[in-house]
Amino acid sequence: MDIKEIEQEVKSKKYNFLRENEHLGKNIILLTLGGSYSYGTNVESSDLDIRGVALNKPQELLGMSNFEQFENRETDTTVYSFKKMVNLLLNSNPNIVEMFGCKEDHYLVLTDIGKLLKDNIDLFISQKAINSFGGYANQQLRRLQNALARDNYPQSEKEQHILNSINNQMTHIERVYEDKHGIKLYIDKSSKEDYENEIFMDISTKHYPLRDFKCIYSEMNNVVKEYSKLNHRNRKKDDLHLNKHAMHLIRLYLMAIEILEGQGINTYRENDRKLLLEIRNGKYMKEDGSYRSEFFEWVDELDKKLKYAKKNTSLPKTPNMKKVEEFVIAVNRKAIVNDK
């Protein structure tokens, strides 16, 4: 669909909830495209995703009522309350940040307050984007590497890939749980019949919070479970998914680097749309389902650029909360006045 067709689609009865739901309607200040359409990487089979922001009503700001977000799964539509969106923006959540870098004609609704929010988006952007965008990119890379390891490498190398994925996740864990967890992971000879090597762990810790340890184990276990699921994957179907993961991996790196370099939020990939579509269409996947070495060389190069951008960025470590609060108060005042 082109943008005119999308505009007509959103006006259809299927999307009446946008106009009739008590939390939406006149409260919507921003409505835009999400997913592949927002990146410019949509293909004929792509779903239409709609994302938006709605002002909180006076009773939600001053009273006991609560509204966080509205979802309609049939149309892949999500509209966040202004209050929830602010909290997600403060953590540089990629799905939220992307809403403010769309192509201008992709904004189906953009009120004066919505434009004010879009124009002041820099208030919310900080070095937290390193971990948020980098974390999402790492997820894509992990899925890609695990799938390739499952199909193309001997057992000992597959085990190494799993360990690498867990170690990458441990970097995130160490940021979340400040106390030293005392876990050391390594590969050694296995006594199991079907394993040449396997992952072992040594644990040395005292007076460690049980619930934190449970969460850490769960994080590690999720990596192993995700890899195990690949034993039963549909090759033809999942090759399409892997190429999509590969495309998003590159896109997330590019967006993160641009944000850290002060180039703004560029959700619609005007300059590298062709390149991203080539990845999605399988340019870097070989006939046996593995990926060409130049793709991973490219990923390594982008990772180096991200680390350099992280070291040299002029973005603040965290948003200026005083300025953010002043802005939020101003918007909420407008919401209360406009509701009268």
Residue 119's domain comprises 3-124+317-338
- Let me know whether 159 and 275 are in one domain: yes
Q: What is the pLDDT of residues 247-257, one digit of tens each?
A: 999 999 999 99
Does a structural domain hold residue 64?
Answer: yes
Does a structural domain hold residue 236?
Answer: yes
**More confident: 326 or 167:** 326
pLDDT at position 158 is 78
Strand order across the beta sheet in which 107-110 lies = 69-72, 77-81, 49-54, 28-34, 107-110
Does a structural domain hold residue 189?
Answer: no
Does a structural domain hold residue 299?
Answer: yes
Strands 69-72 and 77-81: antiparallel
Does a structural domain hold residue 85?
Answer: yes
Q: Which amino acid is at 153?
A: Y
- What's the rounded Cα separation, in Å, for the pair 315 and 122? 9
Q: What angle do CA 53, 264, 313 make, to 5 degrees?
A: 125
Q: What is the CATH number of the domain that holds 80?
A: 3.30.460
pLDDT at position 231 is 54
Closest Cα partner for 200 from 145, 168, 146, 163?
A: 163
What is the pTM assigned to this prediction? Answer: 0.76
- What's the rounded Cα separation, in Å, for the pair 101 and 95? 11
- Let me know whether 153 and 32 are in one domain: no
The residues, any chain, with a CB within 8 Å of residue 160's CB and separated by 6 or more, are 187
- Let me know whether 144 and 282 are in one domain: yes
- Let me know whether 257 and 132 are in one domain: yes
In contact, 77 and 66? CB cutoff 8 Å: no
In this prediction, residues 197-203 reach a mean pLDDT of 92
Closest Cα partner for 117 from 161, 169, 81?
A: 81
Number of structural domains the chain divides into: 2
Q: Phi, psi (5° rounding) for residue 187?
A: -105, 135
Q: Burial letters for 20-49: b for 16+ Cβ neighbours within 10 Å, e otherwise?
A: eeebbeebbbbbbbbbbbbbbbbeeeeebb
Cα distances (angstroms) measured from residue 289 to each of 144, 158, 299: 11, 15, 18
Which of 43-47, 140-144, 272-276 has the highest mean predicted lDDT (pLDDT)?
A: 272-276
- Let me know whether 103 and 58 are in one domain: yes
Does a structural domain hold residue 21?
Answer: yes
* pLDDT of 138 strictly over 80: no
